[in-house]
Structure 1
Amino acid sequence: MSIRITAATTARILRQLVTDRRTVALILLVPALLLTLLRHVMDSDPAVFDRVGLVMLGVFPFISMFLVTSVAMLRERTGGTLERMLTTPLNKLDLLLGYGIAFAVAAGVQAAIAATVAYRLLGLDTAGSPWLIGALAVANAVLGVAVGLFLSAFATSEFQAVQFMPAVVLPQLLLCGLIWPRDEMAGWLQGASEVMPLTYAVEALTEVGANTGMTRTLWVDLAVVLGVALLALVLGAATLRRRTD
């Protein structure tokens, strides 16, 4: 792995990203618009929005980055770009780290916009710092990037890449505790939720929403989220194919 090559890869991906207006809109504008819609849906009970809106500030980056990166990497393979790049000194890990860093930067901008809209315009109120919530949103985005890059290796078309959304993301949304408390689920569902990274991402956000400082649970949850992201990047580098036949 080379820092110089990783940095160059990151810069290339960022240049490609800013020229794709639809992707920019998906990353930067859609989360804020969805939060606005959610706020009006829950207009009669702002306290519910404080709980759900806080969690969605972290969930939206995970979903959007998962979708964008899985499709983007598949395009690199199907278009032959990846095969050409890997004939150079570029290492697979350089490529995946470049993707991770580039989309982490995009996630930082996304989190800043969404948090500003939520706190300044929609009246979101939490015990924890908005800056900490923004940092968790970026961590969740990195997790989405890493998982998306890893799973893209198993897709042969953009349609198949999108199909991973209901197969991988939706079960985590259902079991993470956002819709129903985990301790009130059937025992086997609680066990399943404990191996899903989004469970820890949601728990970390809930901790920030209820506490003014960093708690032990928050540190553990953050370590799990970042650990799974790192593992997914390593597995992605090991399974990444030069092209899709």
Structure 2
Amino acid sequence: MTPLRTLATAGRVLAQIRHDPRTIALLLVVPSLLIGLVAWIFSDTTVFSTIGPAMLALFPFVVMFVVTSITTLRERRTGTLERMLSMPLGKADLILGYTLAFGLLAVLQSSIAVGLSVWVYGLEIEGSVWLLLSVAVADAVLGTTLGLLASAFARTEFQVVQFMPAFVFPQILLGGIFLPRDQLPAGLEEISDWLPLSHAIDALRAVATDSEDAAYVTAELLVIGAWIVAAVVIGSITLRRRTP
């Protein structure tokens, strides 16, 4: 693994995405529009102040998961990855390059989503906006790395979508969006503790309500970071040159 090869891979991915306006719109615009739609639905109530932080975690996470996994799989199916890996480029360089490229897009995506949520949609934040942005970025990067991991096991774009019930839906159901995690039935709360999206939602809510100190949020960020690293490592090990 060399930094120059990783940066070169990231640059190639960003150059490719730059020429795809639909992907750019999906990454940077759609999550903010969906959050705005939720805010509009509950505009006459205080509900958005309660669920807004969870929406900041949910929509960017899902969008990054889908786009990253499909993009990586498409390059493997077309033989691009096989040609790249035939050069002096390791699997770790490739995965880290993709993570870096989509991580930069995650920063833009989260900045837009947080900015609009706080200053346009009316999301009330009692804690630090910068800390909120940090958690939102980590959450989006998490979606990226899990998408890279999912693409290693899929053979078609349709199979990537099929993986969403296994990778994403349980995290949505048990993440505390519909019911506080401490009110989940016995056993489910313990399962939710192991799901990374739960920690992202908890951290965003803690910052929004200023109900926990910085040490708590930092601990949650460390958990999210551990999942990101694990997904990158496993994705590097399981990555195939092309789809059979």
Task: Tell whether the structures are fold-level matches, with TM greater than 0.5.
Answer: yes
Matches within 5 A, 1:24-173: 24-46=24-46, 48-173=47-172
Partner residue in 2 for 1:183: 182
- Whole-Å separation in 2 of the counterparts to 1:168 and 1:157: 16
- Whole-Å separation in 2 of the counterparts to 1:144 and 1:53: 18
Query: In the alignment, is the contact (CA less than 8 A) between 1:207 and 1:215 conserved in 2?
Result: no
Is 1:238 the equivalent of 2:227?
Answer: no
Matches within 5 A, 1:209-228: 209-211=208-210, 214-228=213-227
1:216, distance to aligned residue in structure 2 (A)? 2.4
1:15 maps to a residue whose letter is A
- Whole-Å separation in 2 of the counterparts to 1:45 and 1:218: 28
Residues paired across the two proteins, number? 244
Query: In the alignment, is the contact (CA less than 8 A) between 2:142 and 2:227 conserved in 1?
Result: yes
1:239, distance to aligned residue in structure 2 (A)? 0.4
Partner residue in 2 for 1:193: 192
Cα distance 1:164–1:182, how it changes in 2: closer, same or farther (>3 A)? Answer: same
1:51, distance to aligned residue in structure 2 (A)? 2.1
Cα distance 1:213–1:168, how it changes in 2: closer, same or farther (>3 A)? Answer: closer
Query: In the alignment, is the contact (CA less than 8 A) between 2:68 and 2:147 conserved in 1?
Result: yes
- Whole-Å separation in 2 of the counterparts to 1:18 and 1:212: 40
2:51 maps to a residue whose letter is V
Deviates more, 1:54-63 or 1:94-103: 54-63
1:212, distance to aligned residue in structure 2 (A)? 8.0
Q: Which runs of 5+ in 2 are unaligned?
A: none
Query: In the alignment, is the contact (CA less than 8 A) between 1:129 and 1:212 conserved in 2?
Result: no
SS of corresponding position for 1:107: helix
% same residue: 46
Query: In the alignment, is the contact (CA less than 8 A) between 2:57 and 2:197 conserved in 1?
Result: no
- Whole-Å separation in 2 of the counterparts to 1:212 and 1:113: 25
Q: Normalization by structure 2: what TM-score?
A: 0.96
- Whole-Å separation in 2 of the counterparts to 1:36 and 1:104: 23
1:175, distance to aligned residue in structure 2 (A)? 0.3
1:5 maps to a residue whose letter is R
Partner residue in 2 for 1:23: 23
Q: Which runs of 5+ in 1 are unaligned?
A: none
1:196 maps to a residue whose letter is L
Query: In the alignment, is the contact (CA less than 8 A) between 2:35 and 2:59 conserved in 1?
Result: no
SS of corresponding position for 1:187: coil
Query: In the alignment, is the contact (CA less than 8 A) between 2:64 and 2:147 conserved in 1?
Result: yes
- Whole-Å separation in 2 of the counterparts to 1:32 and 1:154: 30
Query: In the alignment, is the contact (CA less than 8 A) between 2:206 and 2:212 conserved in 1?
Result: no
Pairwise CA RMSD of aligned residues? 1.3
Cα distance 1:69–1:63, how it changes in 2: closer, same or farther (>3 A)? Answer: same
1:182, distance to aligned residue in structure 2 (A)? 1.1
1:127, distance to aligned residue in structure 2 (A)? 0.8
2:78 maps to a residue whose letter is G
1:229 maps to a residue whose letter is I
